[in-house]
Amino acid sequence: MLAGELYLASDPQLVSERKNARRLTRLYNATTEDETEQRRTLLSELFGSTGRQIEVEPPFRCDYGYNIHAGNGFYANFNCVLLDVCEVRIGENVLFGPNVQVYTATHPLVASERIKGPELGKPITIGNNVWIGGGAIIGPGVTIGDNTTIGAGSVVTKDIPAGVFAAGNPCRVIREL
């Protein structure tokens, strides 16, 4: 799975790991705004690694959690979804608007292969000092360079270089910053 090869999501180990992530996200999403230490503890247990200061507004959803690596200063607004069948690497000082969705998960494009059931994924890397506007979707295998802004509602299907403003569906560079 982590190598981007076909895998069966019904594998008992993967099912167990997703159940654990569901349990941790349920506990996290039930916390209040005053329970900052409890939130920090739960994110530290759920994520593969975190910077010393991150904030994720509930509700939050992910597949496994342990494939998420968030740098210091990461902030995700409400309704963030990280489908982390492969690694999601988020740099430092990264901001997500509400409803940002990050999908490493994908499926075979050929129907005869897809209906057999195996899935696959491609890692996503988001650089330092990136702002992703509300409602943006980041697709499998995408890298977003440092100091870049992604406009609200964008659908990012290809790599975006450093130091640009990019937006649209499909997302494309609008101008350098």
Active site residue 107: yes
In angstroms, how far is the first alpha carbon of the chain from the final one? 36
DSSP 8-state secondary structure symbol assigned to residue 9: T
Residue with tokens 């705004």: 33
Backbone angles phi, psi at 88, to 5 degrees: -115, 110
Is 28:58 a contact under the CB 8 Å cutoff?
A: yes
Pull the structure tokens for residue 107: 């499926």
Spatial distance between the Cα atoms of 114 and 31, rounded to a whole number of angstroms: 38
Is 145:166 a contact under the CB 8 Å cutoff?
A: no
Which amino acid makes up residue 65?
G
Q: Is omega for the bond preceding 59 within 30 degrees of 0, making it cis?
A: yes
Task: Give the distance between the most distant pair of CA atoms in the chain.
Answer: 50
Annotated catalytic residue within 18, 107, 122, 172: 107
Which amino acid makes up residue 117?
G
Task: List residues with catalytic annotation.
Answer: 107
